[in-house]
Amino acid sequence: MQRIRFTTTGWMETPGFMLGLPHRHNVPIPAVVAICEKSNGTIVLVDAGWSAEECRRPSSIGLAHQHILGVRVQPQQDVASQMRRAGLDPHRVTTIIATHLHLDHIGGAVDFPNAEIIAAHNEVTEAYRSSWMKGYRRKDLECLRRLRPVRLSPMPLLGFSHSFELDEEITLLDTHGHTSGHLAVAIRQGSTLWIHGGDVAYQHRELSSGSLCPLSQFLAHDRACARVAQRRLYRCGQEHPHVRVVLSHDAQGFATLPALDEQMP
């Protein structure tokens, strides 16, 4: 990968105790999107955050979701607008890989008309049969006109039991548990292997703790599988020094990532 940068589409707020912290104050959490520029000029996103319309008019998220998730967004905080400000044309985005199809991860896909959306086959099936209370919205599914469900193969990689090689730089890793088709996305950039772990854990401290935080327990499709996915992702980061694990909702981890608004060196 020629270049990889990260951003968030606004913030959400969640009570500290839900993240396993010893207090009830609200904690701001990001919704981290990876922007991966390939040498052929195309761009791959991992997740897409909220849409331009949702950032402009947060009530369009749906009042229940907006309040439950504590969504704090401003106009122009969507990924497409941020990309334009950074000099990247959103039309160059040809692929969006969804770690999963929850609304805070895929709402912004609607802003990328040239993109094919890739998600795990199980995730697509689950999204279509689940209710909004599980975090899936029919409007997100309807905008996925160019959806490509993929089935991972039983090819162990980096400690994960199933994988799917999308191309020579990007591999999808099975981390089901948070949802039935949750993926981690491994992206090779020089000697670094970035792994966007989505919602496998909410915080790096949760990943290393060996147990699910209350929010992970509450939202897990399958808690036992979610624990397995956490253990595998943690071990992968520990055992491979070239691996950098990224989590969708870890504010401290986000602050350490190369940012989209960084100037070229």
Taking the complex as a whole, the smallest distance from the CB of residue 251 to Zn ion amounts, in Å, to 13
Q: Which stretch binds Zn ion (CB under 5 A): 47-55, 104-112, 152-160, 220-228?
A: 104-112
Alpha-carbon distances of 13 from 29, 72, 78, 100, 223, rounded to whole Å? 6, 8, 17, 20, 23
Question: Using CB atoms, what's the residue nearest to Zn ion?
Answer: 199
Closest to 263 (Cα-Cα) out of 93, 87, 90, 76: 87
**Kind and range of the H or E element at 207?**
helix 204-209
DSSP tally for the chain: helices H, then strands E: 10, 11
Looking at the Cβ atoms of 88 and 225, the one nearer to Zn ion is 225
Point out which span in 175-183, 193-201, 218-226, 233-241 binds Zn ion (CB under 5 A). Answer: 193-201
Residue whose CB is less far from Zn ion, 13 or 262: 13
Nearer to Zn ion, 174 or 199 (CB): 199
| Partner residues linked to 248 by β-bridges | none
The reply on whether position 199 binds Zn ion by CB under 5 A is: yes
Minimum distance between the CB of residue 220 and Zn ion, rounded to whole angstroms?
Answer: 12
CB of 92 to Zn ion, least distance (A): 25
User: Is residue 10 within 8 Å of residue 50, measured between CB atoms?
Assistant: yes
Could you say whether residue 47 binds Zn ion (CB under 5 A)? Answer: no
Kindly identify the residues of this chain, within the stretch 113-152, that bind Zn ion according to CB under 5 A.
none
Name the segment binding Zn ion (CB under 5 A); options: 175-183, 191-199, 200-208, 232-240.
Answer: 191-199
Query: Please, which residue, 90 or 135, has the CB nearer to Zn ion?
Result: 135
Phi-psi sector, 99: left (phi>0), alpha (psi -120 to 50), beta: alpha
User: Least distance from C-beta 135 to Zn ion, angstroms?
Assistant: 8
3-state helix, strand, coil in the chain (%, to 5): 35, 25, 40
User: Which residues are near Zn ion by CB under 5 A?
Assistant: 104, 199
